[in-house]
Amino acid sequence: MSALRRHPEGLRFHQRAEGSRADQECGRSARDPSLRQKSGCAQDDVGRILLLNWGHMADGLDRLKVLINSSTPIVVMETSEEVHAINLVRAACAELNMATFEWSIADGLLRSGTNAAAEGQKMSLQARIDQTTVWNQGSRSQTQTRTVLSPGGGEADRLARAMMSSLGADAAAAASAGSIYNTREPVQALANMESMTVEAVFILKDFHRHMEDPVVVRRLRDVGQKFSNNRRTVVITSPEITVPAELATLVEYFDLPLPDPERLHEIVHETFTRLSKTYTLKLQLDAAGVDAMAANLRGLSEEEAERAVSQALVTRYALCPETITDVLEAKKQLRRHSGMLEFIEASDNMASVGGLENLKHWLQQRRGAWEDSAREFGLEPPRGMIILGVQGCGKSLCARSVAGEWKLPLVKFDTSAVYDKYIGETEKRIRKVFQIAEGLAPCVLWIDELEKVFAGSGPDSASADAGVSSRLLASFLSWMQDRKAPVFVAATCNNVTVLPPELIRKGRFDELFFVDLPNQAERKQIFSIQLAKRKRNAAEFDLEKAATAAKGYSGAEIDAAVQGALYAAYSEKKPLTTQSLVDALGQTVPLSTTRAEEIAALREWARTRAVPATARSDCPGS
């Protein structure tokens, strides 16, 4: 800690961390009156801390309150962050003056916050509204209204009496000591829930393990039908769950919101403070560095972000500039394991792409259009583009290069990993992809070979895949149209004719570009780039002669020819020459010859329907 106090930025960091511990102590005091007196937290401080802790999840909290208030019988939270989910439910119930119960196979059904071994007493609940003033971000003060949970009071006693009277004498005695009697078995727990008359929310933990039992499903359906007529809700938390068809009409799905930048900043501070109690950590990062680290954590859940920061700190035993990159690498590993989105190293930029001046100019005009200054100017962030063209002409390279050119994160959408054998699972997975992408914003989302994702979404798709492709397309169209986060979708396509017209219209994508075979000038650029990548001086070669010999060749074929010439030169122990390149080209039959008819048809289709990536004055393949 001495290092913290010596460093000016570290002192401020340390003070904020100490404040965070004080805030946590006050938060506990809000729930326990004995702690409140011991910690010395004023009532205003309690309200202030609860406001700070709940501020980052306001959107999710409001959505959950709407579901509960509208008598939604069953809410499914498919998440591995059980603690986060339960805290959100408790916060919603506190604001709505509702009791909260939790069930697990280990403890049975009990009042939220009770523990038989630790407390052994009956809980009571009172919800009241406090007007609280919060000093936000240094110098701005805002007055907000929040519901603060605290024990005692007439309303809480009424709820407790109603609960006890609805349970019966034996169950009430058990409830006063902790869990409700004989509720560890899911069927019996559901029966007890159905018999209660108190307005409450019941949290069922890891209930997915019991959803294959027909008796449990039937009982849960009875509970849901009864709860739909009054103000009671079942919340199921599970890492993964398949909802039976019998419950489909009773269920609403709730996705936990990802932490916003402010919350990510807090996680960095909280994790550093927690680990400083165990390890001697140095603080070598200023406020701008912490902001950069928080930015690299975008798109992760709270638990994932904390894990990434913890690994970086324990690896370096310091909060230093290297940890900024460390958390990014940890995030890549976490997303790679998710199977749907893969982080791609955006090492290329448009300078590594030969030709395509129209496309480069279009991208240059939209650089930075997601920033606040652009929004104030009246601009909306660019939505995306489709790059159509001949195979091997650099469509995927262009999509990757956009992120490198704009200095944005690049994530690739693994379309094959989205599909699932269970009905409804594919749609949930695509929603998860959208949520993660928006959490990473601003970013570039790369979808390779778009036609393979939605080619089966035509009128006959119901007979082919039970309509999954059509529903997937509908979800994608809705997200493309309505999203507000600056996620630029860079999609490539080989056969645009199989894509539904509603997908490629303006408003979904900004532009449709056609990438043709490279012309003479572009082939010279491609040769120059490929030779430079292989540590050769392009000025020592006759690029004009090589480009002429490569007429009709795609960029990928030129790349392969250069690689082949290098193999030949290395095996013969000779230097690479222009003639070596020409000879290698002569040993390859280009795609423009083997698929000439298809390329001609594609070129004719794009002539009046797409914007050429190369200026029209340049003759393709010349």
pLDDT in tens, 545-572: 999 999 999 999 999 999 999 999 999 9
* More confident of the two residues 238 and 171: 238
Token pair in block for residue 131: 């007007």
Q: Which of 188, 177, 252, 263 is closest to 220 using CA atoms?
A: 188
CA atoms within 13 A on the CB side of 32: 13
Distances (CA, A) of 602 to 539, 607, 609: 36, 9, 11
Q: Which of 163, 154, 87, 150 is closest to 122 using CA atoms?
A: 163
CA dist 473 and 459 (Å) reads: 12
| Backbone region of residue 601 per phi and psi (left: phi > 0; alpha: psi in -120 to 50; beta: other values) | alpha
- pLDDT-derived band at 219 (thresholds 50, 70, 90) equals very high
- Global pTM reads 0.62
State mean pLDDT over 143-160: 41
Question: Does residue 131 register a pLDDT over 70?
Answer: no
Given this model, what pLDDT does residue 150 score?
Answer: 36
Contact criterion met (CB below 8 Å) for 556 and 393: yes
pLDDT in tens, 565-608: 999 999 999 999 999 999 999 898 898 899 899 889 888 888 88
Give the number of other Cβ atoms within 10 Å of residue 100's Cβ.
Answer: 22
How many percent of the chain have pLDDT more than 90?
24
Question: Does residue 165 register a pLDDT over 70?
Answer: no
Contact criterion met (CB below 8 Å) for 470 and 428: no
Query: Could you tell me how many residues make up the chain?
Result: 622
pLDDT in tens, 363-396: 999 998 888 898 899 988 999 999 998 888 888 8
Strands 410-413 and 341-344: antiparallel
State mean pLDDT over 24-43: 40
pLDDT in tens, 425-443: 677 777 878 887 887 788 8
CA dist 313 and 404 (Å) reads: 28
Question: Does residue 221 register a pLDDT over 90?
Answer: yes
CA angle 391, 534, 515 (to 5 degrees): 20
